[in-house]
Structure 1
Amino acid sequence: MTTETGTRSRRDVLQAMSGLMMGMFVSILASTIVSNALPRIIADLHGSQSVYTWVVTTELLAMTATVPLWGKLADLYSRKLLIQLSLGLFVVGSLIAGFSPNVEVLIASRIVQGLGAGGMTALATIVMAAMIPPREMGRYAGIFGAVFGVGTVAGPLIGGLLVDTSWLGWRWCFFIGVPFTLASIFLLQRTLNLPVVRKEVHIDYLGAALIVGGVSTLLVWSTLAGQQFEWVSGWTALLVGAGVVLLALAVWVEGRVKDPIVPLTIFANRTVTLTTLASALVGVAMFGGTVFLSQYFQIGLGKTPTQAGLMSLPMIFGLLVSSTVAGQLITKWGRWKAFLVAGGVIMIGGMLLLATIDANTSVPVVSVHMAVLGIGVGMLMQNLVLAAQNDVPAKDLGATTSTLTFFRSLGGAIGVSALGAVLANRVESLSAEKFGPVPGGQSGEVPDLALLPEPVRAIVRDIYATATAELFLIGAPIALLALLAVLFIKEKPLKTLSGDERLAAESQVAAAH
């Protein structure tokens, strides 16, 4: 047993991480590669602004909802097999999406992709914690954060290039990940060797169903309110009431079952509570703001999908550099809180800068604003997970990691859905001001600038630019709340044993008593 749980060489860890990182990159890419292609996809499939939001939200929601389940399964079955299974689901979802004949099939395929991405997102961090001590985690977490960041923002560039390549088209946004995912499954088979420690685990399906049901109901409400019915209406009362009741029941169930999906006991740990809150808020700010930037580039600034993708590069570099440098410095110095605080401050600055954009903002200015936001998010995201993992017993590593990932993705899903609804409402009201009521009622379809006459095109660009800037103005106070949560986290020295080593030591102590 000592050879399996003993300290691994850096070469062994990097080899094992190669397949892990490739799988992680592809699953993150799936969430973002469609963002630049969406205006074209939605126009081709005749979808509305609400559908635009749902293509992103359904994948995020499925990923979010299943993260805790994958975390539980990791305590029961082979973590290696589960990662390969999640990648297999991802391949199936990608193929369905690529052949979608309409928006309904596309949304269904995004759910399947989300199931796979949820497994990859949860299990990658659990496997890393099992192999690597927190004191060394900064170095690897930097790589992990960089992969996450590059996947998050490189997607739009790749998607834009594919959409603008006439002999490929938007369907290849889904097909392109398939060979890389299959390569990741093969690499994991060759390089990842972990002990299977079977524990008696009861999966709380009722709790999972209540959490998913409650969150989904609130997301449906935030997407449809102001579009299909008024914000203050009977439908709002019904949907919000049902969502709150379902989530209250979920909390009640989670407090009573033997193996809850989200163990409420871990929130007795102050670090876990604060990092969870900060992760959720970072998710709202990051996903909620950045998902709609590519739409701003294409409709607000009149750029092609490829140009829009290239305009995403400053955020990639900001994330890549800050995540990697912060990780290396944390490993060198053993201190992490200063990086979290600095990341929070810089993220707020990025949000406020992006709140100043309009249809006439120059590309270099937008690029600087995006780089600032990327630097802030890069310093925050993965280091929040590190802070929590360092402060819990090894037996709670899986639950803590999946809970943090769950709330970050949940924040992202809520951010995309709620801010998407705000954007759709703002576009509608600004359009009504400029053009008057639409003949035959509001169509809500995302416009194709190429089909509009020049005077109308200029007004439409201004409408979308104004509405997008307002999203970042909403995102700034959310980012401020994340910073406040980080300020109250108490810094503790980083542990020098890996998760598997700590678990073995804890088991010996328990046996001795």
Structure 2
Amino acid sequence: MAVAKTSKVNTGFIILLVGVFMAALDNGIISAALTTINTSFDVSATQGSWGITLYTLGLAVMTPIVGKLADRYGRKKLFLIEIVIFTVGSLGVALSPNFTLFLAARLFQSFGGGGIFIIASSHVLSTFTKEKQGRMLGLLGGMNGIASVVGPSIGSFLIDLTGNWHWLFIINVPIGIALVIVGFFSLKETKSYVMSKIDFLGISLLSFSILSVMFAINNIGRGGSFADVFIKWSVLGLLILGVLTFATLIFVEKRNEQGDTIDPILPYSLLRKPTYAMTMVMGLLSGTFIGAIIFIPSFAQQILGISAAKSGYWMTPLALASGIGAGGGGYFVDKKGPVKTLIFAGVIGIIGFGGLGYFVDTKLLFIIFSVIAGAGFGFVLGAPLTILTSNAAGTQKGSAIGTLSVARQVGLTISPAMFAAFIQSGFSKFGDLIPQKLKEHGIDPSQLPEGSMEDLVGTSYGDLQTKIDKIPSPEVRDALQEAFQQAAHSAYEPIYLTTAVMAFLIIVISLVFSKQFKHDAIESDMLEVQENQQTASKSE
């Protein structure tokens, strides 16, 4: 494998890191400004949410496509094009005179953001030696994860600093211009040698399948029973359509494999590999980790009594731990391999998320277990899954890693709906707990002012604590506080215990398929030797 000079490689890698951070940050940073943006354009909260939805859809669709194009036409070239699209899109968002153009610019911006992380990962796999790939991928994954976690906090900071949501996007413009200029001179071009035609039908089918699944997930409710949340045609119908379209894609790619005139977007030989399928499953499971982390601020508010203004800062220990964990996970991959890294990450995840679900009732315990959970999340997020996917993919690294990113995005998108249903179910017990706790404190519930209990039960769980704090009687207030705490624990326990189960499933898959993963690694090494020999013969 040809490796560029160290200084050039290091400068190029810094460009990749900054690009990944900028693209990942933009998906979370807008959430802090949604209310301000909605007011600015005079739209409802439902309409305003399309600013996030369209960006997510664009990312999901473009990721595997751009990964494939980068393999074919050059990773440096596509990376710079993606940065240009993202930068122009950011400027368009900032300067949008109306909400329609704002949404169009957000979609265009996502077409640029969709391929940056994938191209960066593929570039590392094509540029660095195997002894360094884990560490470099770990740093990329850590940068991606940290940006996703701290995005809302940075968004709030910028709005407080500037008083204007437009700066959330304008700030991308000078950074993007600098990345293009420095990247043009410091990045090394890498690509696969492909002579066959582009698989336009496969690209269309894959895009439609991803769109159907992501729209279905977007239609999932955010409260009520499991049936209310998931069992409806706007969800099931689109999911079925997405599955049928993907089945058609498999048929088309199987036909393409029988000839050599079309370069498939996802080769049938890859789709039928059990290791590739299991890596996608682990990618989906790892996405639920991020979904659980989203609820950390509300957990801090309702379990630990931290104010809403300060709850976001309690993400900091987890964010720092995830960054360190991603780098450490990459180093662990280089030394012990991706399978052992995933097993270790799963164990850490079980301890961290399980502890958050079962044992946290003080701020110190919260910090301890959130740091452990963050480290486990970081270990999974970085190198191991990318390495496993790359080993299974052979020469099709870009589209394969892109599909892994989509699988992770599906897990990230669907898990908040599931977890919100858990919270709704937990706090629905509050009304039943009130009489019980009042009696335990020697208070007859019938002596309370008429309608007061109904008023409390009808209050949204986000406002319950405020109403309880305003109750004048200390005895009643203490009883209701105990009822609230018990309901809150029953709301958040299943979120983090479910995430711990996801970590356990990653361990199981890693153990069951460890031999097949090792076989993929051997095949990948042999293929790399053949590619290097072909490259050497062409240069002579």
Normalising to structure 1: TM-score of the pair? 0.79
Aligned counterpart, 1:492: 518
Q: Distance in 2 between matches of 1:288 and 1:173?
A: 23
Greater shift, 459-468 or 211-220, is seen at 459-468
Greater relative contact order, per chain length (Cα 8 Å cut-off, separation 6+) = 1
Distance (Å, rounded) in 1 between the aligned partners of 2:358 and 2:498: 12
Q: Is the Cα–Cα contact under 8 Å of residues 288 and 420 in structure 1 kept in the other structure? A: no
Query: 2:465, 2:95 → 1: CA distance?
Result: 26
1:487 offset after TM fit, Å? 1.8
Change (3 A) 1:293 1:224: closer
Which residue, out of 531, 534, 539, partners 1:503?
531
Q: Say if 2:356 is the partner of 1:354.
A: yes
Structure 2: gaps spanning 5 or more residues: 257-262, 435-451, 472-476
| CA contact 1:156–1:308 (8 Å) conserved in 2 | no
Q: Which residue of 1 aligns with 2:505?
A: 481
What secondary structure, in the 3-state scheme, does the structure 1 residue paired with 2:409 have?
helix
Asked whether the 8 Å contact 1:57–1:417 carries over to 2, the reply is no
Distance 1:42 1:446 in 2: 21
1:65-214 superposed matches below 5 A: 65-95=61-91, 98=94, 110-163=106-159, 165=160, 167-168=162-163, 171-195=166-190, 197=193, 199=195, 200-203=197-200, 204-214=202-212
Higher helix share: 2
Amino acid at match of 1:483: I
* 1:67–1:118 contact (8 Å) kept in structure 2: yes
1:369 and 2:366 correspond: no
Unmatched 5+ residue regions in structure 1? Answer: none
Of the three residues 293, 306, 311, the one matched with 1:308 is 311
Superimposed CA distance per residue, residues 58-96 of structure 1 (whole angstroms, 9 cap, x where no aligned partner): 533331222111122213434223222322333344445
Shift of 1:148: 2.2
Q: How does 1:41-440 map to 2 (within 5 A)?
A: 58-95=54-91, 98=94, 110-163=106-159, 165=160, 167-168=162-163, 171-195=166-190, 197=193, 199=195, 200-203=197-200, 204-223=202-221, 226=224, 230-231=228-229, 236-237=232-233, 239-257=235-253, 258=256, 259-284=263-288, 286-297=289-300, 303=306, 307-331=310-334, 333=335, 335-356=337-358, 361-389=361-389, 391-392=391-392, 394-420=394-420, 423=423, 425-426=424-425, 429=428
Give, in whole Å, the separation in 2 of the partners of 1:47 and 1:372: 39
Paired letter, 1:188: G
Instruction: Provide the rounded CA distance (Å) in 1 between the counterparts of 2:527 and 2:37.
Output: 44
Between stretches 379-388 and 91-100, larger displacement belongs to 91-100
- Distance (whole Å) between structure 2 residues aligned to residue 242 and residue 104 of structure 1: 25
SS at match of 1:312: helix
Match of 2:294, as an amino acid? V
Residue type at the aligned position of 2:326: S
The answer to whether residue 13 in structure 2 is matched with residue 17 in structure 1 is yes
Which structure has the larger Rg over C-alpha atoms?
2
Deviation at residue 432 of structure 1 after TM alignment: 7.9
Separation in 2 of the partners of 1:216 and 1:142? 27
Residue-by-residue CA offset, 1:312-358 (whole Å, 9 max, x unaligned): 12112222222223323443x35342221010111122222222488
Q: 2:25 matched to which residue of 1?
A: 29
User: CA offsets per residue over residues 93-139 of structure 1, 9 Å max, x none?
Assistant: 44455567998877666544433221112211111112123332123
Aligned residues: 494
Amino acid in the other structure paired with 1:371: V
Q: Which letter maps to 1:148? A: N
